[in-house]
Structures are given as C-alpha cells and as structure tokens.
Structure 1
Amino acid sequence: MAITMFMSIAVSGCDLVLEERNEQFDSRNEITESGYFEKGWIPRWLPDSATNIREKHEVDTIATVLVFEYSSGDEPPFGNECVATDSERVSAPRLTAHWWPAVAQLKAMPLLYRCPDDNSGFLAASADGKTAYFWRTP
C-alpha cells in the first residue's frame, strides 16, 4: 500500500514554492501501478526484488531521495549505467528526510556510484548488502 505525504515549502527570499511528496511502497509492483516510473521520480532500473521503498521528491523538479532493500541476487548498480566513484566526487542531496542518512554516512558506504544517464544521480549501497540509497539534485 502506497503512503503519500505532501509538503509545500517556501524558499526564503523568493516567491518560489516547491511542493514535496513523500511516498512509501511495499514493492516495485506498487510503483509501477502508481505511475512514478513514467513521471521520472523513481529510476526504472530499480531491481525487481526492491522492497520497503521510501521516496521523497520535489514535484516540479527531478530532486529525489530514495531508499530500498534488495535481495542478494540483485547487486548494485542493478544493471544501470552507473559507474563506481569515490566519496570525494559524491554530491550531497538537496532533499532530506528523517529516514535519510547524513552525507558523511553516505560517503562512508562501501559501494558508491555516479549515475550520469540518470540526471547525474548517485547510488550508495550499505555494507550489509541489503540496503541501497539513490539521490539526484538538479
């Protein structure tokens, strides 16, 4: 069951209001039904085994943070065009959420990737080999 939360934020010093959405999905199939792949907020390379998926994005941009669990049969970078990188080349995400790790934690993860074909996103996988984090900032 997908859970949706909306939040609008006003950017200090301007009239720009950015609407943010938080989503939670049990499986990849729920995302397919929601249309989020087509809207571009969640990358299509998300593995079939993805579960416990949490996502936050800005409605009018491609800014996204995404965390999910995956089975050991799927391995990062999950067949997409991401390439291994080091922590010095990793950019901080623009969005944050209470479930999102600190930048230092992301940079300390053993598997770090830059995803040039996905609007310059980044992918990190935890040492337990079960949790992955994806983010992009326009």
Structure 2
Amino acid sequence: MNRRPLVIAAATVGVLATAAFALPNLPPNPLSDTIDSHLYKEKGKRFATAADAPTRGDTAFALPAWIPKDAKDVRIRVRTTGDARLIRFDLGATPLDGPQCTAGTPNRVRDPELGAKWWPQHIRADVRSECRDHHQYQVAVRGKRVYAWTDGTPSPGAEPQTAIAVSAR
C-alpha cells in the first residue's frame, strides 16, 4: 500500500488547520490585511496618538472631531463597503465631555456591526453617551478606555459627507 498520498493529505490538512488558527491571531501584516480587505470587507489601523491619525480628508481613518487630541493608542476598524466603524482609544488629560457628546442613554443602542480582537464583548450595556460628527457614535467608557461605534447613521443636521475612499495610507 502506498502511504505517500495519505502523508501528503495529512500534512496539507495540518498546514491548513494551523493557518486557520494562526492567521486571525497574527498582528496586522500584508497577508492578514489582504484577507480582511477582500474577504471580510474591513480594514484596520492603529495610531500611537490621535495626533498621528488623519482628522479630515478622503480617508476612512479620519477621526471624528469629538475625540480629544491627546487620546492615546487609537485603533480604528472600518467597513470598506459602508460607513460602519469601531474606534477605541485611551483618554489623556482631556475628558471626553464636550459639546458634541451628550450624556445619558442614546435613543437607539445597537450592537456594533464590526468586530475586532481588541473590541470587548457585551459593550452595549456600558453605553453612556452619544457623540456626533458626520455620523452618530455610541460611546462606552471603561475607566480611561473609550469604545465608540457607528453603523453610519448620519447626525441630525450634519452636512452630507462626500464619498470616503479607504486608503492604504
């Protein structure tokens, strides 16, 4: 009996199983970025500070104006086929409270449409405010860490935003 095909099949299954478990757990790299972009239609970026992230322009990674300029460890995940976004950051000395954020429970609290390894489960229960820029964001604060998400619902009275192209910047 020729065992060579069985060995090849077993090795192939082993490599595929290892890749299935390892790839999602790898730090961002060209391979995982390509899989996210083409398969899941999502992209992500990480910035050391809010000052390192773009604030305006034709990029999906532009931060909303309500995020304090001294925020640190900013992570953004965007849907490339729509306006859904996740944003996580750590507050610096500037508090989150501002004219663009209202305290209390937002009108519609929905679960985020996206997911990320750095995004906690059951965050919806912690929503305490709604912040507005071009889109309405639901915001939860845990200590100094802020989690915000939007499904792309425009803010009332916001000017229509021109099409945002996801850049590889």
TM-score of the pair, normalised by structure 2: 0.59
Change in 2 beyond 3 A, CA 1:88/1:119? closer
Distance 1:55 1:74 in 2: 20
Deviation at 1:27, TM superposition (A): 1.0
Structure with the largest fraction of helix: 2
Counterpart secondary structure, 1:97: coil
- The residue number in structure 1 matching 2:117 is 98
Rate the CA distance shift 1:105–1:20 in 2: closer, same or farther, 3 A. closer
Q: Count how many residue pairs are aligned between Structure 1 and Structure 2.
A: 119
Following the alignment from structure 1 to structure 2, what is the Cα–Cα distance between the partners of residues 65 and 122? Answer: 10
Aligned-pair Cα RMSD in Å: 2.6
The Cα offsets for residues 96-128 of structure 1, whole Å up to 9 and x where unpaired, read as 1111011x234236xx112354422211111x2
Deviation at residue 84 of structure 1 after TM alignment:
1.9
Q: Deviations over 1:21-71 (max 9, x none)?
A: 110100122113xxx632354212221111111110012321100100112
Q: Which amino acid aligns with 1:47?
A: P
Bigger drift between 21-30 and 81-90 goes to: 81-90
Percent of counterpart pairs with the same letter? 23
Runs of 4+ in 1 over 2 A off after TM superposition: 3-6, 36-42, 85-89, 115-118
Task: Identify which range, 84-93 or 45-54, moves more after superposition.
Answer: 84-93
TM-score (norm 1): 0.70
Any idea what SS the aligned residue of 1:8 has? helix
Name the CA shift for 1:94/1:9 in 2 (closer, same or farther; >3 Å).
Answer: farther
Q: Quick check: which has more Rg, 1 or 2? A: 2
Q: Give the whole-Å Cα distance in 1 for the aligned partners of 2:64 and 2:132.
A: 12
Q: What is the rounded CA distance, in whole Å, between the counterparts of 1:116 and 1:54 in structure 2? A: 18
SS in 1 for 2:147: strand
CA deviation after TM superposition for structure 1 residue 19, in Å: 2.4
Which one has the bigger strand percentage? 1
Letter in structure 2 aligned against 1:92: D
Q: How does 1:1-138 map to 2 (within 5 A)?
A: 5-6=33-34, 7-8=36-37, 19-32=41-54, 37-38=56-57, 39=59, 41=61, 42-71=63-92, 73-77=93-97, 79-86=98-105, 89-102=108-121, 104-108=122-126, 112-126=128-142, 128=143, 130-138=144-152
* Unaligned 5+ runs, structure 2: 1-27, 153-169
Unaligned runs of 5+ in 1: 11-17
